[in-house]
Each structure stands twice: as structure tokens, then as C-alpha cells.
Structure 1
Amino acid sequence: MMEAEGVTKFQLYWRPGSAASALEIAELEAWRRRFRALGVLGQEPDRYGGVGFGNLSRRNGAGFWITATQSGALPELGPGGYSRVESWDLAANAVWATGPARPSSEAMSHAAAYDRRPEASWVFHVHAPELWRAAPRLGLPATAADIAYGTPAMAEAVAELVAVAALPCILQMRGHEDGMLAIGSNAESTGRALLRAMAEAAAEIPPQPSRALRR
């Protein structure tokens, strides 16, 4: 059985701090609007117990900016709707963050991708039911069905998959209902890879054979 969404499971050490600049979050906001319009990010009363779903991040120095926890209902976030994760410990399941808001409950999965692939600079996490169901047919890499989101096991599973994937890559979180991750080196290629995978899922287009393996 899938677990409830939106619950922070890692140990969070957060302190209030400065907000991101408008420029730093501009591309995140643009993609967030697009994903909300597609229904793969947001908050709806009849999905996942009514809690928010989907989150985006971008690398920032040694850390990353990520959308705030339970912010899916808001059409726009602005600088106040992002948290800066400064450091993390995957083995200890701990995150240190600052900013005007606390980070998404999926921050550890984002951290795992950045930790394992220095060239990864963007992570988009959406809840796309059609793509999630089609992931095996499309040959997308996937975490095991018994690995829950927000756990050290999920972070390690994401890290292992990202380590051998060609960027941008799309991963299925099999134990996290409808959960998909897109990871890449720039916002445009990461977002477009996710949109292409969603289109392939809808149209039953055969997968591109090179997507799952690093070149």
C-alpha cells in the first residue's frame, strides 16, 4: 500500500534566512506554472488525501533551492516560497536548510541526485499517473516498489540510478504513487525530457533506447 503524501520523514535542521532572488527562481517558476497547468503538480481534494504534490529544485553553489513544503496549492510562489538546502547527510537522513520557508518533503531525493552527479543542476518531481503506469513499457529506470519516499533507502536508490543514467534522465519512483523524477544539467532539457516522456506515455510511442543509459 502506498503511503500518505507530503510528510517530511528526514531530520530537518532549518533556520530562517534570506529569500532567493527573483532571477534565481525565474526558470523554476516558469516550469512550475507549466506543470501545474498539466495537472502533475498542485493540490487537489481528490488526489493523495488532499495534500500538495510535486516539487522542483535547482543547484545553487554547494546547495540547492527547492520549492517549499506543501506549496502545491499556490499558483505562484515567488522568492518567499523557496528554501535553500545548504547540506545533507544521506546515511543519517538529515537535511540542513535555510530561507523563508521549510523545504519540500522530497528534498532528500533531490539531494541524492545532486550528491551523485555534480553536473546535475535541476530536479523536477511530478505526479504523472499516465507516465508512472507506462514507465515499465517505456523502459524507464525505477526504484523498487517496497522503497518509500523520503527514506534513506529511497535516497540511495535514486543516487544509484542517477549514477549510471544519461542526463537528462527520467526515473520512476515505484513505491511512491505516480511519482516521477526528471534530472538534468539545465532547465530546458530537463523539462522537455519530462514532457516528451509524458507524450510517449499518452501516445504509446516506443521509448528511445538510449534514454536509460549514460553515454
Structure 2
Amino acid sequence: MKVIDDGVIKYDRSNFSQCGALLADEYEALEYWRKKLYQMNLIGEYPEVHIGFGNMSTLRDYSCYHSNTHPQFVITGTQTGKYADLNGLQYTRVLDYQIDQLKIQMMGAIEASSEALTHAAIYAANPNITAVFHIHSNEIWKKMIEDKSDFTCESIPYGTVEMAHATQACIKNKDSGVFCMHGHEDGIVIYARSLEEAGSLTVSLYQKYMN
């Protein structure tokens, strides 16, 4: 059986404020693209082990809940990949973070995706980036490696401080792009200046390698 390196939360979970469902206008634009990626099987669940894959986020201003200098965002909750549709109970607000301490301050009915730290690192690295998609596809992942696409090293696992820093080094000064995670099988990240641009990059990636 394939060993799945996904789904386990590695960040400090002590700063989670549980509350009711998020309002629809906080996540509906993100959900529009999530549905498309779910239908393309770029977000979902590995059936043999019942572990979800794929997560998405977009910038939001949550200074009314917590004021800080870090970009804030809304992200899909942990282990929600198996659902075709998400609602406000399955999205989470990320209010603050300390990357080197693996700390995330979040608010919602569910904890943030296990890869929330990677999203945070990307937003912190470049203020022009407003959307991050993390998808899974073994076929696309392998072909991106063959094509020598941008990547994070094989020795670096997801959800760690090392991955956060490697991600920042990978994107450098680029406002949009894609890269694969050599140390996180099937893992691919798309980042862009808008949800629409991130969606377009994802569809282009799919068409390039899956058709």
C-alpha cells in the first residue's frame, strides 16, 4: 500500500478559537474554484487510507478579530478533501502565525489545513500574492519533476518550518507560478495575484499534463 504523507497537523494547535460557521462572503469565491478542482480530482481523498488531500486559501482582512502585521487569510479546514462541497463550518480564519515556532492563531468551527503554514509562508513572502492552491496529482507531479519545474527538495516534508522557508525561496520574487514538492509525493502548489489567476494556472497545468 502506498504510504500517504498528508493530513497530519504538525503546527502548534493551542491557538485555535472554536466558533460558529464563517459567513458565506468569506469563502464563496474560494469555494467556486474548490468545486472545480474537486471535479478534476485535484482535491479529494485517498480511499485506501481515508486521508484527504488538497487545500486552498485566499487573503482576507480579519483585523476586526486580531490586528497584526502578517497577511491574514481564509483556508479550507483539515481533512475536508473528501467533500464535494464545503460550507462555513469547513473553512477557517487564519489570524496570525509565527512560522519559526510552528504557531498558527486561527478561528473557526474546524482547525486549519495541516499545510496552513506553507500558505502563511507564501503570503508573508510576497504581498502581491492573494491566492494559494495546494493540489495532488501523481501524474502531474511526476511530469513536473521530469520537466525540472520549480520545486522544494525531497528531504523536506510538508507542514514544517523547513518547508515554509523552502517555499519562500522557491517563489523568490515571483507574483505567480507553480512548483512541486519533491518531498511530498503528489504535492503541487499554485500561487497567484488573484483567485482567477490561480484557477487559470491550475487549469493550464491540468491541460498540459493530463490531456
Task: Please indicate, yes or no, whether the TM-score normalized by the shorter chain is above 0.5.
Answer: yes
Which of 193, 211, 214 pairs up with 2:201? 193
Matches within 5 A, 1:166-205: 167-203=175-211
Give deviations 1:132-188, integer Å, cap 9, x for gaps.
Answer: 0011343421000010001100000001112233x3210101101100000011011
CA contact (8 A) 2:5 2:184 kept: no
Q: Answer yes or no: is the 8 Å Cα contact 1:21–1:79 preserved in 2.
A: yes
Please list every run of 5 or more consecutive structure 1 residues that lacks an aligned counterpart in the other structure: 204-215
Q: Which residue of 2 aligns with 1:101?
A: 110
Report the equivalent of 2:95: 86
Pair 18,114 (structure 1): closer, same or farther in 2 beyond 3 Å: farther
* Structure 2: segments with no counterpart, 5+ residues: 62-70
2:149 alignment partner, one of 137, 140, 145: 140
Q: CA deviation at 1:21?
A: 2.2
Q: Distance in 2 between matches of 1:4 and 1:91?
A: 21
Residue 133 (structure 2) pairs with residue 130 (structure 1): no
2:24 alignment partner in structure 1:
22
- Give the aligned residue type for 1:9: K
**How well do the aligned residues superpose, as a CA RMSD in angstroms?**
1.6
> 23-32 vs 183-192, which deviates more?
23-32
Cross-structure match for 2:46: 44
1:51 partner letter? I
State the shift of 1:95 in Å: 0.8
Q: Deviations over 1:80-127 (max 9, x none)?
A: 111111111111111111112110001000001001011111000000
Which residue of the partner structure matches residue 67 of structure 2? none
TM-score, structure 2 as length reference:
0.89
Shift in alpha-carbon separation, 1:157–1:179, aligned structure 2, 3 A: same
Identity of aligned residues (%): 29
Map of 2:54 onto structure 1:
54
- Contact 2:5 2:185 (8 Å CA) reproduced: no
Instruction: Tell me the SS of whatever aligns to 2:143.
Output: helix
Q: What residue in structure 2 maps to residue 162 of structure 1?
A: 171
Q: Aligned with 2:52: secondary structure?
A: coil
Relative to the length of structure 1, the TM-score reads 0.87
